[in-house]
Chain A
């Protein structure tokens, strides 16, 4: 269900957690936004690139059993919401840990993994997941 260009243009966010920062109020966003919802017009055209911290804490999570086709070989896998150390909440899979050992408050860090692909002859899409901190 993926399109090559659609995924390609999100690479900065997918690989390196590039979001946006509003130069007016300083609030940071992930994924990137072209406008700050608080400063609105004053921020248009002025949003600056912001790299989100790669470490964070598990805010909540679920162990997914009814899985999308792309993740069949990962079943069951853990998806979570991570609060990064710069206070951005985002959703990602949590890997390299047994589901029963995941808990709210656990320290994790971003890693690059395969997200899915466009079939055996299609493009492979990579993006961030989180793994327990070393």
Chain B
């Protein structure tokens, strides 16, 4: 297996991009990444696209071909593959790209992630998101995604693992960072009280506990590590990219206050990278709901069980706090959560951090960073560890 490097990264503005189509944003992110890598584009020999539900959001399937075509690769006839794993689509597409390069099957790969969510109304959007849970035995029974995480939050509070305020502070952390990210959907810091006072979505979670509906795309360029210097002076090494699964329905788990998939993927990633949580300076964790981000910080081993809440509440997770910085992009809550793009956008953020190009939110001296991208209620998990060279 070859060592794999990220040689370019690009992300569009996330938000309600009314005048942009799926094709527009998908191609834009790819072009930004190709430009960042200093490529002409003709070097690319495969595409992997993370996308959850273009079929229901824009009524378009065959997304691999569509992006390849509008990115100008149709004439080159390179392979283009769309990957779907709920909200983990982007992260898992990244892992597919890494495997393609590591195996020697491809040399220069573009991994993109994109979702255009605002072409349908909110109710449809929620219904599409709910289908990443068990449609037959959760969604159909009245369990929305927000309610599933609300039920986790209630258990968390019931078992004394976190307080409502601690859970809410994950959102405050995200917004503090979003204010520093020019591509974030929400570039405004918020107060804890605002989260606690926000309108109920699924008690105990309010609107500010939930990621927004977003359009956006992100892309990275991969190549073998030993060829990376041909393209860039500032490559990022993929130290690990792992994946794990779990039961589709949350109710089938032994515990709902910890995701075994996250723990397994993290464990495998640390083993592969020969690192431990203490080596990590910066992490992007999946926080479609505040409780999810809090739980992720514990499942990844960044904090002991029941301790992440205090860290978020006290601001230890901020980029300049000198501890592990969490969700410096703003996280899913403030940066935005165009489903299929999220996992790739996390990789873009960590790549920027470990190569020192994260501008106002740069974590000082960050060498190792990690990303956790989740699908459903942790039924799919992928963890990547990146190293700045």
A interface, CB within 8 angstroms of B: 1-2, 6, 10, 13, 31, 59-69, 71, 76-77, 79-81, 89-93, 99, 104, 115-116, 125, 127, 129
A2 to B135, CA, bound (A): 10
- Asked if A64 contacts B144 (CB within 8 A), the reply is yes
Chain A CB count within 10 A is highest, among B142, B152, B201, for B142
Among B76-135, those with CB < 8 Å from A are: 123, 126-127, 130
Residue B42 at the chain A interface, CB threshold 8 Å: no
Among B243-267, those with CB < 8 Å from A are: 249-253, 256
A59 to B257, CA, bound (A): 12
12 A-B residue pairs with Cβ-Cβ distance under 8 Å, sorted by A, are: A31-B136, A60-B152, A65-B202, A68-B139, A79-B141, A89-B252, A91-B148, A93-B142, A99-B203, A115-B142, A125-B140, A127-B141
A85 to B203, CA, bound (A): 26
Question: Could you list 7 further interchain pairs (A-B, Cβ under 8 angstroms) beyond the known A79-B147, A89-B251?
Answer: A59-B155, A62-B150, A62-B154, A64-B144, A69-B123, A76-B200, A81-B251
B interface, CB within 8 angstroms of A: 123, 126-127, 130, 136-144, 146-148, 150-152, 154-155, 158, 199-205, 249-253, 256
A91 to B205, CA, bound (A): 18
A99 to B202, CA, bound (A): 12
CB nearest to B122 among chain A residues: A66
Which residues of chain B have C-beta atoms less than 8 A from A129's C-beta?
141
- Asked if A66 contacts B141 (CB within 8 A), the reply is no
Which residues of chain B have C-beta atoms less than 8 A from A80's C-beta?
151
CB nearest to B128 among chain A residues: A1
- Asked if B252 contacts A68 (CB within 8 A), the reply is no
- Which secondary structure dominates where chain B touches chain A? helix
Which residues of chain B have C-beta atoms less than 8 A from A127's C-beta?
140-141
Known: A66-B146, A79-B142, A104-B158. A91 touches B250 (CB 8 A): yes
Known: A67-B144, A79-B141. A91 touches B249 (CB 8 A): yes
Known: A77-B142, A79-B141. A61 touches B154 (CB 8 A): yes
A66 to B212, CA, bound (A): 13
Which residues of chain A have C-beta atoms less than 8 A from B158's C-beta?
60, 104
- Asked if A66 contacts B202 (CB within 8 A), the reply is yes
CB nearest to A90 among chain B residues: B251
Known: A81-B151, A104-B154. A92 touches B141 (CB 8 A): yes
- Asked if B154 contacts A91 (CB within 8 A), the reply is no
- Asked if B155 contacts A64 (CB within 8 A), the reply is no
CB nearest to A72 among chain B residues: B123
In the A-B complex, list the 10 residue pairs whose CB atoms are closest, starting with the nearest. Answer: A62-B150, A63-B203, A62-B147, A60-B151, A65-B200, A66-B201, A93-B142, A62-B202, A89-B251, A60-B155
A92 to B249, CA, bound (A): 12
A2 to B158, CA, bound (A): 35
CB nearest to B153 among chain A residues: A62
Output the least CB separation between B289 and chain A (Å).
11
Which residues of chain A have C-beta atoms less than 8 A from B151's C-beta?
60-62, 79-81
A1 to B253, CA, bound (A): 27
- Asked if B200 contacts A63 (CB within 8 A), the reply is yes
Chain A CB count within 10 A is highest, among B126, B154, B250, for B154
Which residues of chain A have C-beta atoms less than 8 A from B147's C-beta?
62, 64, 79
- Asked if B136 contacts A65 (CB within 8 A), the reply is no
- Asked if A79 contacts B143 (CB within 8 A), the reply is yes
Which residues of chain B have C-beta atoms less than 8 A from A81's C-beta?
151, 250-251, 256
Which residues of chain A have C-beta atoms less than 8 A from B205's C-beta?
62
Which residues of chain A have C-beta atoms less than 8 A from B202's C-beta?
62-66, 79
Output the least CB separation between B118 and chain A (Å).
17
Which residues of chain A have C-beta atoms less than 8 A from B136's C-beta?
6, 10, 31
Output the least CB separation between B28 and chain A (Å).
31
A79 to B203, CA, bound (A): 10
Which residues of chain A have C-beta atoms less than 8 A from B154's C-beta?
60-62, 104
Which residues of chain B have C-beta atoms less than 8 A from A92's C-beta?
141-142
Output the least CB separation between B196 and chain A (Å).
15
Output the least CB separation between A42 and chain B (Å).
20
Which residues of chain A have C-beta atoms less than 8 A from B150's C-beta?
62, 64
A71 to B371, CA, bound (A): 36
Output the least CB separation between A12 and chain B (Å).
13
Output the least CB separation between B261 and chain A (Å).
15
A77 to B144, CA, bound (A): 11
A61 to B130, CA, bound (A): 17
Output the least CB separation between B41 and chain A (Å).
40
- Asked if B123 contacts A64 (CB within 8 A), the reply is no
